[in-house]
Structure formats: structure tokens, C-alpha cells
Amino acid sequence: MNIKCRQFIENHFSEMVRDLAALVAIPSVKGEPEAGKPFGEGPAAALDAMLALAEKYGFHTKNHEGYVGTIDLDPSLPTTLGILCHLDVVPAGKSGWKSLPYSLFISGGKMYGRGVIDNKGPAIAVLYAMRAIKETGYPITQNVRLIVGTDEENGSSDIAYYKNKEALPPRVFTPDAEYPLINIEKGRIRGEFSTYSGFAVGNRSILSAAGGTVFNAVPESAYAIVCGFDEEELRTASLAFPKLGFEFTKEADGCTKITAKGVSAHASQPERGVNAVTGLCAYLGSLTTDDETARSFSRVSSAFPFGDNNGAGLGVAESDEESGALTAVFSILEYRDGVINGKFDCRFPVSDTAENLRQKYVSCFAKFGIRVTDTQCVEGHKVDADTDFVKTLLHIYGKTASGIAKPIAIGGGTYVHDIEGGVAFGAEFPGEVNNMHGANECFSLASFKKNTCIFTEAIEELCK
């Protein structure tokens, strides 16, 4: 990295922190839309503040109807690099903060506040990288455009709007994830299924069951109401599932409520959790009822066996070298009135297509007498690791890190999922704790500076 640029960052570091503090002070949580403010007051105010800062530092800026703002280093040059950040934040939440969430607080070398890492801090870091290039007169022949969005946390309709309006630069990175660099994001299917279970007509029967709350998480809790069983028998059956916690509560009319407790995890990393819904289905399927209900749960459990996170039971398992294995999570269960309804979240390798896999799901489920009732599909995202763009970024990061920097594949989606050629690069260093989306979100001063240096060097190299 150019020595003058490094000095510029050192000399302006307290100013950077001050500018970030001003942005953090704006609670840019999504609100009610107004004219020119598609995501409400907060995100619009943060966008205005960011563009005002950029203008003060002599950059060419544009507000695209409140969806995104663009900041150009030198608009007279061809724009070949885009850096994408977002200024909206998730709500602060009610409890757990040791400082005020919308007031930057520094303690023990860390900055605390909502948005410091996700994603206002990285946005300021990019702005200062551009300032360093501009104010030291570092020679570039291509323009870099900082694109600041305002709807990343609620579906990225900001980028969809901007893409419709203007062509994105051929190379885009977003420091809205982690280092070293993410070049592969799996595809996703969210599906719903349904199967007739038979009405609970026996003296020993499963009356109702439910578990899970959202599509994209391994459910940590599920329950069922059964009747005609004594508690001892139910307890003994639970011994076959040592990974789950069980609670048995007596209900009226000789019924018992069974609650299964597992461990929650993000659906893109199901191996980190213990699925209470598939556990409960396997448990219910192991009971003997004098109607069809237990056999129906056994059937569902064969399609989604407890402990199977890869679609093996169903027959959709697949993997490729660059993305790893498909994951499939049965995340929401609802059983009543003779019907078992389920929702699942699947992340699949980039070598497959959503439509191909959707059809596979339909036919595999059919073998278990289960009907797919709805699917929502998102294709995977991949950028070739062998491009100069990816290699340059990895090389720059690698100089600051110990060990070899290799690109990574993830099951989740980043801000560039729908941007061709886009990669995620930063801002989180491996092993760093930042409490993103939680209380006491933080970003260390050292990492803030280190990110600024990395972005500066990226512009020097990619725009020279």
C-alpha cells in the first residue's frame, strides 16, 4: 500500500470515528414509506447524511430516489469497480445493551453501537479509502463507485431498484460479510409440504403437534399432545433420543403434552443445531397408536430422519467440490385435523439449478405419500476464483493475515447474491466477535483501520 495513503488514514483516523459516530446516531431501521423515502425516515436520513459527508469531501454523489446513493471517486473515468455497503440497520432490540445503541461508545479498543460493523463502519472505511486515494493524488485510470443501499436487512429491494436503472460495474465487492472472500453462495429452496395423517380416532393417539417458527432456522423446540399413554411409557420411548431434552406435562382427559428441546442454528449451518421437529417426528413415529397417526409420523420421519441434515432420507442429497453438500432443514411443523403440514429450507450446490432440484423434491416426497404444496426458489451465486479480481483481493487480504487466503463457499446469501461477478470481501476478520444483529454490536478500532487500509490497497490495485 502506498505510504502517503497509509499516512492519510493514520492522520484522519479520529475524524473517521467521528463520522461513523454521526451515522450511528441515526436509527436507520426500516419504517413506513413516504415520498422519496421508500424505507421510511431512518434509512433516508442515513443516506442523506452519508451523501452530505461525501460531498463535503469533494466527491460526486447522487441520490437514486432514496433507494441507494452513489459516490464516485472520479466520474470522468470509466467505472470498473463498485463497492457495495448498506446504511440500514436491524432494530436495536429491547435489552442487553451496556451502552446506548444509537450513540457510538468506545471501550477497551472497541466501538459499540448499532450498525458499527453491519454496515456503517465498513461504509465509512470505504469512503476514507477513497479520500486517501483522492487527497494524496494517487494516480488511477478507472473510477470506483461506492454504492450505499438502504434495504439490505429486509430483502435488498434497494439493489433490485438500482439494477433496473443503471448498469452495475463489472467488478463489485461488498464488505458486508467476512474475510477472506466469499465467491460461492448456495442456491435456496423454501418449500411447503402436506400429507394426510388420518384423524386421531384411536384410544391411543396423537392429537396435535407443532414446532419451529421461521423457515431459515433449525427449530429448537416442538411439542405434541398424545392421549392414552402412561407417562412411564412415554419417558421410556424418549430414551432412544439422548440428544433431545424432553418434558412431559399432564393434560385433561388422560392426555400428555410432550415437549422436545433441541438446539437452534441458522438453516445454512444445520450441523450446528439439533432439530427438535425431526426429533419429535421420529419420537412420535416410534410410539404405537391404535389409529394411523403414529405411522404417519413415522412416514414423515423417514423423509426427514432425525440427524439427517443433507436430504439423504428424502433422496435429494448431493454435493460438489466447490460448494459442499446440500443442506435440508425441516423447520416448521403443524399437525391438526388429520393433516401434517411442514416447511423446509434447502441450500443447494451451485452446480445444480433450482428448477431441477424442485422437481426432484416433488418426486422424492411423492414416494413417501407427501405432496409439495409451494416452493420459492433462488439460484446459487458463483464467481470464478481464477479471475484477476478475486486473486487480487485475496492477495491483498493475505498480506495482512497469517496463513493462505482461500475463497470460501457459504450456504447463506450476501448483499451481492443477485449481482453478477459480485463477491463478499470483509469486513469481519476470522475469529472476531462483533455481536452483529444482537446487543452490544461492536467493531474494534484496529479492525476499522485495517479494513480501511485493505480497501485503499484494493482501489490502488484494481483502478490503477
- Closest to Zn ion by CB, 118 vs 460, is 118
* Structure-block grid coordinates of residue 405: 487466503
Which residues neighbour 44 within 8 Å (Cβ) at sequence distance 6 or greater? Answer: 34, 36, 37, 66, 150
H or E stretch including 165?
Answer: helix 157-165
Q: Would you say 123 and 448 are in contact if contact means Cβ atoms under 8 Å apart?
A: no
Minimal distance, residue 176 CB to Zn ion, in Å: 4
Measured between alpha carbons, how far is 303 from 396 in angstroms, rounded to an integer?
46
* Catalytic-labelled residue, pool 19, 72, 74, 88: 88
Residue 169: CB minimum distance to Zn ion, A: 20
Q: Across the strands, what pairs with 20?
A: none
x/- site string to Zn ion, residues 325 to 354, per CB under 5 A?
A: ------------------------------
Distance CA 25, CA 433 (A): 22
Which C-beta is closer to Zn ion: that of 115 or that of 169?
115
Report, in Å, the least distance between residue 182 CB and Zn ion. 13
Q: Any catalytic annotation for residue 253? A: no
User: Toward Zn ion, which CB reaches closer, 176 or 308?
Assistant: 176
Q: Which amino acid is at 8?
A: F
d(CA 242, CA 263): 13
Q: Which stretch binds Zn ion (CB under 5 A): 44-52, 94-102, 119-127, 243-251?
A: 119-127
Asked if residue 119 binds Zn ion (CB under 5 A), the reply is: yes
Q: What Å distances lie between residue 42 and 39, 45, 65, 134, 443, CA to CA?
A: 8, 5, 15, 30, 22
Binding to Zn ion in span 169-188, by CB under 5 A: 176
> How far apart are CB 117 and Zn ion at their closest, in Å?
8
Could you confirm whether 321 is annotated as catalytic? no
Work out the number of other CB atoms within 10 angstroms of the CB of residue 373: 12
If one asks whether residue 150 binds Zn ion (CB under 5 A), the answer comes out as: no
Strands 371-378, 187-196: pairing kind: antiparallel
Number of residues this chain uses to bind Zn ion (CB under 5 A): 3
Q: Does 118 bind Zn ion (CB under 5 A)?
A: yes
Residue 447 Cβ, how far from Zn ion at the closest point, in Å? 16
Instruction: Please tell me whether residue 205 binds Zn ion under the rule CB under 5 A.
Output: no
Q: Are strands 339-348 and 205-211 parallel, antiparallel or unpaired?
A: unpaired
Report how far apart, in Å, the C-alpha atoms of 53 and of each of 69, 376, 442 are: 12, 40, 23
Stretch 76-115: interaction string toward Zn ion, x if CB under 5 A: ----------------------------------------
Q: What is the Cα–Cα distance from 295 to 197, expressed in whole angstroms?
A: 8
Nearer to Zn ion, 49 or 189 (CB): 49
Smallest distance from the beta carbon of 153 to Zn ion, in angstroms?
A: 7
Positive or negative CA dihedral for 409, 415, 421, 425?
negative
Catalytic residue from among 74, 118, 152, 220: 152
Of 44 and 427, CB closest to Zn ion: 427
Residue closer to Zn ion, measured from CB, 74 or 176: 176
Residues at the site binding Zn ion, with contacts judged by CB under 5 A = 118-119, 176
- Residues with a catalytic annotation lie at 88, 152
